[in-house]
Amino acid sequence: MTSSSQHDLIIVGGGPAGLCAAMYAGRGMLDSVLLERGLPGGELLNTDLVEDYPGFESILGRDLAQKMADHAKKFGADIRQENVESIEKRADGIFDVTTTRGDHFLAPAVILSAGGAPVKLEVPGEQEYAGRGVSYCAVCDGAFFKDEVLAVVGGGDAAVEEADYLTKYASKVYIIHRRDEFRASKLLQKRLFANPKIEVIWNKVVTEIKGQPAGVTELVLEDTATGDASTLPVGGVFVFIGFTPNSWLIKDHYEHDASGYVITDSTMQTSVPGLYAAGDLRVQVTRQITTAVGDATTAVIAIEKYLKERAQEPVREPA
Ligand SMILES: Cc1cc2nc3c(=O)[nH]c(=O)nc-3n(C[C@H](O)[C@H](O)[C@H](O)COP(=O)(O)OP(=O)(O)OC[C@H]3O[C@@H](n4cnc5c(N)ncnc54)[C@H](O)[C@@H]3O)c2cc1C
């Protein structure tokens, strides 16, 4: 049986951004509901050690997820296991958040904090060594590879910028690109080519990631022109071939950048009034736990004000 319920605020996605939003909404005495398709925690559940979240010198991702969920619940968070299918604003200004079960959650404000997913290489060994040498985040994992030889895969801004960043820790960084030129901005390329620790491997793709129980030891490469195979010994590989934000859930027209990241103002409000975005799916400089919870904090405080102002407006009849 399907249901329909009315709230002040609906939070879509229960990663760090969503859990932080639920905690603030509870403290702000808002009637909110958090809809999460899996277990609360988001990408924290795929993270081994977190060593850059203030207050915790070193904590397992799943432990931090549990702490965030417990903290939100302590302030009354209503966390439901629901897979959201669409978010649509009705003519009366109320959002209708629909789930795959056919349930409808209605509210004048929504925070979309559904994150996204890095595009994978889809080669043997990638899943097996994820968190043991295969990474999608240089800021998160770079420090675990001090004095190691690393590989970065990709040719866009993210790959070129992160390869440069990783030389802070690594003794050498290979950047492997399937073409003979980068898509990255000229400025980033200039910095990359000037870095003596970086060597570019053109016209090659990774076809396999090999390792031992402790982690990655070697990549198998294939030449895109000749098909010749070769191997490259490395201690880790960072993959930057794209990221797919879960912004497609929004059915109204909303502003986004060329990669689909949601554009917001400084209060985290999107171009659709009442719809806010927080965390990894928002256009921003870096995607971290700290930035996700910061976005969520700003969004909830702004929503409290938005709801107050809205309550003072004359009531409009539903279309
Ligand atoms: C392997 C790895 C290691 C990392 N290590 C670190 C680190 O050490 N330090 C650091 O600061 N950052 C790290 N990061 C980045 C950090 O995890 C993210 O920046 C952070 O989790 C973003 O939080 P978020 O809430 O925006 O999104 P997410 O964590 O992605 O959470 C989004 C949530 O939305 C849910 N969702 C998606 N679609 C739907 C739907 N249709 N219906 C309902 N729910 C939905 C998902 O199930 C998920 O739980 C790491 C990332 C990865 C992948």
Does position 4 have pLDDT exceeding 70, yes or no?
yes
Using CA positions, which residue lies closest to atom 27 of ligand 1? 115
152 Cα to the center of ligand 1, angstroms: 21
310 Cα to the center of ligand 1, angstroms: 31
> Are 4-117+243-311 and 134-239 the same fold in CATH?
yes
Six-digit token string for 278: 């927080």
Q: What pLDDT shows up at residue 298?
A: 98
How would residue 312 be classed by pLDDT, with cut points 50, 70 and 90? confident
Using CA positions, which residue lies closest to atom 12 of ligand 1? 288
What is the per-residue burial (b if ≥16 Cβ within 10 Å, else e) of 11-27? Answer: bbbbbbbbbbbbbbbbe
Does position 138 have pLDDT exceeding 60, yes or no?
yes
Using CA positions, which residue lies closest to atom 21 of ligand 1? 43
pLDDT higher at 156 or 104: 104
Active site residue: 103, 141, 164, 280, which one?
141
From 6-10, 18-22, 180-184, 298-302, the region with the lowest mean pLDDT:
180-184
Condensed to tens digits (0 to 9), the pLDDT of residues 105-123 reads: 999 999 999 999 899 999 9
- Whether residue 233 contacts residue 172, with contact meaning beta carbons closer than 8 Å, is answered with no
Condensed to tens digits (0 to 9), the pLDDT of residues 209-254 reads: 999 999 999 999 999 999 999 999 999 999 999 889 999 999 999 9
Active site residue: 140, 164, 280, 295, which one?
140
- For 103, other C-beta atoms within 10 Å of its C-beta total 18
Percent of the chain with pLDDT over 70: 98
Does position 126 have pLDDT exceeding 80, yes or no?
yes
Catalytic: 295?
no
Residue from 216, 219, 178 nearest 200 by CA: 178
Does position 319 have pLDDT exceeding 70, yes or no?
no
Q: Which residues line ligand 1 (CB under 6 A)?
A: 12-18, 35-38, 42-44, 46-47, 50, 52, 83-84, 113-115, 136-137, 140, 246, 249, 279-280, 287-290, 292
pLDDT higher at 224 or 313: 224
Q: What pLDDT shows up at residue 47?
A: 80
Cα(35)–Cα(9) distance, integer angstroms: 11
Does position 316 have pLDDT exceeding 80, yes or no?
no
Catalytic: 20?
no
Residue from 53, 29, 40, 26 nearest 114 by CA: 40
CATH code of the region 4-117+243-311 = 3.50.50.60
- Bridge partners of 245, per DSSP, are 116
Mean pLDDT of 296-305: 98
How would residue 2 be classed by pLDDT, with cut points 50, 70 and 90? confident
Structural fold of domain 134-239: FAD/NAD(P)-binding domain (3.50.50)
Condensed to tens digits (0 to 9), the pLDDT of residues 244-276 reads: 999 999 999 999 998 899 999 999 999 999 999
Using CA positions, which residue lies closest to atom 7 of ligand 1? 140
Catalytic: 280?
no
Residue spans of the domains in the chain: they are 4-117+243-311, 134-239
Percent of the chain with pLDDT over 90: 86
Residue 240 to residues 25, 83, 191, 284, 315: CA-CA distances in angstroms? 34, 27, 18, 16, 48
- Whether residue 184 contacts residue 157, with contact meaning beta carbons closer than 8 Å, is answered with yes
Q: What pLDDT shows up at residue 130?
A: 93
Using CA positions, which residue lies closest to atom 15 of ligand 1? 288
Condensed to tens digits (0 to 9), the pLDDT of residues 59-73 reads: 999 999 999 999 999
Active site residue: 52, 78, 96, 137, which one?
137
Condensed to tens digits (0 to 9), the pLDDT of residues 48-100 reads: 888 899 999 999 999 999 999 999 999 999 999 999 999 999 999 999 999 99
From 11-20, 265-274, 283-292, 295-304, the region with the lowest mean pLDDT:
283-292
Does position 160 have pLDDT exceeding 60, yes or no?
yes
Pocket test for ligand 1, best of 47, 57, 62 (most atoms within 8 A of CB): 47
